Amino acid sequence: MQLIITADENGAGITLTEPEDLRRLAASTQLVPSALDQALRARGIGSCDGEHIWLNIGELRAIGPAEDEWRRGYDAMIAYADGHGWVADGCVRVHLSDDD
Name the pairing type of β-strands 91-97 and 26-29: parallel
Q: Is the pLDDT of residue 2 over 70?
A: yes
**pLDDT, position 75:** 98
**Cβ(87)–Cβ(94) under 8 Å?**
no
Q: Minimal CA–CA distance to 91: which of 100, 78, 80?
A: 78
Q: Is the pLDDT of residue 99 over 70?
A: no
pLDDT class for 29, splitting at 50, 70, 90?
very high
Lowest mean pLDDT among 9-18, 41-50, 53-62: 9-18
> Looking at the DSSP assignment, which residues form a beta bridge with residue 53?
48, 94
Q: Minimal CA–CA distance to 41: which of 56, 29, 27, 51?
A: 56
> Looking at the DSSP assignment, which residues form a beta bridge with residue 37?
none
Q: Minimal CA–CA distance to 67: which of 17, 4, 34, 20?
A: 20
